[in-house]
A and B are shown apart, each in its own frame.
Chain A
Amino acid sequence: MERNPMRRQLASLRKSLFDQGYLDEQFMELEQLQDDANPNFVEEVVTLYYRDSARLIVNLDHALERRPLDFSKLDGLMHQFKGSSSSIGAKKVKAESTLFREYCKSGNAEGCMRTFQQLKKEYATLRKKLETYFQLARQIGPMESANRPK
């Protein structure tokens, strides 16, 4: 049972990320790889994801400015972006990626552009929520170490 109010808040925040569909169980898989030797593992992976995928977002933006659209190239870029997003459990971002790829396959330019705008919104929203989550987790981390019986 959670005694510490901050730990309770962290648990609630975490639950809300799953309940609201921002994360799926892959995020829990990442948490399984976190231990005392790698206490910030999940945050480090998420940071890596946002750093690495920023390049893909820029490339997709540029590719969507070309006329006519190269749907094969767009699909390839989104394939990589979807794989990366799925690896951290970014559920809504992954869903928009899937929809984008469907529009690529059907050659629907407007659908691609509309979906990409939505994808970028979900991507940014998730980033903010995870930043809040990790910030709280980091505050609790040192408190837990201080309170741990010696």
Chain B
Amino acid sequence: MAPTLPSSDQASDQDNWDNGRLARKRQLLIEIVLRNKLTALVVDGDTTCRVLEQLLLRSYGVQTQGVDNGRDAVALIASGVKLDLIIIDMILPVLNGLETTRQIRDMGVHCKMLGVTICSRESERQVFLAAGVDVFIEKPLDPEHLVPILRELDGQ
């Protein structure tokens, strides 16, 4: 299917608005410098999401690993790995995100947990928060949500 090319090359108001937002996001991407070495775990059954979230974290210098199911997440944490941040999806294979979160908290792990998931209802958000995540973020994870959290963890 041939693409439809716009008839004019002039920047529209929408273009300017988009470029402004993009410039602001670029600032967020480059202006944070972490003083401490932060570590994170991404728990997501979807490969694309998991890879992107890990890459985003690594772009800020966060040492990151990923697992694709809740059981492996619990096992990794039970092995003694110290983490500053856990990013977890609600729906996971093997052991769902809610139960995984509860088990992690039950182990006495107090690190920051972000529930990053697709959500269409307030009830789902509340359930995830009640399970133990500190922050609920609707996918996709973006710098505007992530950077303030990284700053907080870095003590900035």
Task: Identify the A interface with B (CB < 8 A).
Answer: 8-9, 12-13, 15-20, 25-26, 28-30, 32-33, 45, 48-49, 52-53, 76, 79-80, 82-84, 86-89, 98, 101-102, 125, 128-129, 132-133
Q: How far is the CB of A110 from the nearest CB of chain B, in Å?
A: 20
A30 touches B52 (CB 8 A): yes
What 0/1 readout, one digit per residue, does chain B (45-56) give for beta carbons within 8 Å of chain A? 111110110011
Complex A-B: 22 CB contacts under 8 Å: A8-B9, A12-B3, A12-B6, A16-B4, A16-B5, A17-B3, A18-B18, A26-B142, A29-B140, A29-B142, A29-B143, A33-B52, A48-B47, A49-B48, A52-B46, A52-B48, A76-B91, A83-B46, A83-B117, A89-B140, A101-B120, A129-B1
Closest chain B residue to A17, Cβ basis:
B3
Q: How far is the CB of B37 from the nearest CB of chain A, in Å?
A: 21
Chain B residues within 8 Å of A87, by CB? 46, 48-49, 52, 139-140
Closest chain A residue to B142, Cβ basis:
A29
A-B Cβ contacts below 8 A, count: 90
Within 8 A of A (CB), among B1-17: 1, 3-6, 9, 15
Chain B residues within 8 Å of A80, by CB? 45-46, 91
Interface size on B, residues (CB 8 A): 34
Flag whether B118 is at the interface (Cβ < 8 A).
yes
Task: Identify the B interface with A (CB < 8 A).
Answer: 1, 3-6, 9, 15, 18, 21-22, 25-26, 29, 44-49, 51-52, 55-56, 59, 89-91, 117-118, 120, 139-140, 142-143
With A26-B140, A52-B46, A79-B91 already in contact, the answer to whether A98 and B120 are too (CB < 8 A) is yes
Chain B residues within 8 Å of A28, by CB? 18, 22, 25
Chain A residues within 8 Å of B15, by CB? 15
Q: How far is the CB of A116 from the nearest CB of chain B, in Å?
A: 17
A33 to B30, CA, bound (A): 11
A84 to B4, CA, bound (A): 26
Chain A residues within 8 Å of B1, by CB? 125, 128-129
A33 touches B48 (CB 8 A): no
Closest chain B residue to A136, Cβ basis:
B3
A85 to B118, CA, bound (A): 11
Chain B residues within 8 Å of A9, by CB? 5
